[in-house]
Amino acid sequence: MKLLFAYFTDIHGNIDALQAVVDDAIKMGARRFICGGDMIGIGPFTNEVLELLFNLPSVDMVIGNHDEAVLSLKFGLPYPESHFHAKKHHQWIANHLEDRYANKLHKLPRELKFVQENIRFLITHYPFKRGKKESPISEDPFMPIISQPDTKSMHALFGHSLPYDFIGFGHHHIVHDFKIDQTHFVNPGALGCNAQAEARYALVYEEDQKILVEYNSVPYDRTNLFKAYRELQVPDGAFLMKAFHS
């Protein structure tokens, strides 16, 4: 059995959760990391998260809706109306986002496609509305979240992508693990947003050209996270702590 990479998504500015996952994955033998988007937004540690990610020895990332919404404010571009409830918070993130990381985020793709060990992989934050894959974030290109996912909904979301053997995604913060024929759909759950003090990720293995996925939850100390929400006066901080961390 060969470990291909560690897969995680939706870090949401939570540096302590990310560090716990990176440390655990390395201990498990991971040498490559893949992130399914939403590295920033919600949590307060924007630059710290991006510094750790961009300095990993081998990492690939796709951009998420929070990342794009923050960048729209950073670069003075139209902001998505659907995210208007989060605009004050996103503006705070954008104000603190360092230019060097903003420029790197801006260059990230929305999809990552590759073949490894003759296995076909697709990584994206979430599927796109028909004809919207290239549309700016202000036009809400991502499909609405399906609240109760199952194999039928995976086919509805990703039916055009079924030639892939592995489809990794995020956006919806709960764990998804579904199979349709040869296609394995994997969302390990949000790394940085969880009711428990645990950071979630997956290890993706290959054995006899078949995919094996191991889901892990790593305990971490949230003291630093909650302290930062309060001391930095993060906009909507009390709501965010309750909604995403309890």
Q: Taking 80 as the threshold, does the pLDDT of residue 109 lie above it?
A: yes
pTM for the whole structure? 0.97
**Per-residue pLDDT at 138:** 98
**Per-residue pLDDT at 162:** 76
Per-residue pLDDT tens over the stretch 110-128? 999 999 999 999 999 999 9
Per-residue pLDDT tens over the stretch 163-179? 899 999 999 999 999 99
Percent of the chain beyond pLDDT 90? 96
> What pLDDT band is residue 143 in, cutting at 50, 70 and 90?
very high
> What pLDDT band is residue 144 in, cutting at 50, 70 and 90?
very high
Per-residue pLDDT tens over the stretch 219-243? 999 999 999 999 999 999 999 999 9
Q: Which residue has the higher pLDDT, 87 or 209?
A: 87
Per-residue pLDDT tens over the stretch 26-51? 999 999 999 999 999 999 999 999 99
Which DSSP string do the residues of the chain spell out, in sequence order?
Answer: -EEEEEEE---TT-HHHHHHHHHHHHHTT---EEE-S--SSSSS-HHHHHHHHHTSSSEEE---HHHHHHHHHHTTPPPPGGGGGGHHHHHHHHHHS-HHHHHHHHT--SEEEEEETTEEEEEESS-B-TT-TTS-GGG--BPPP-SS--HHHHHHHHGGGTT-SEEE--SS-SEEEEEETTEEEEEE--SS--SSSEEEEEEEEEETTEEEEEEEEEE---HHHHHHHHHTT-TTHHHHHHHHH-
> What pLDDT band is residue 159 in, cutting at 50, 70 and 90?
confident
**Per-residue pLDDT at 160:** 74
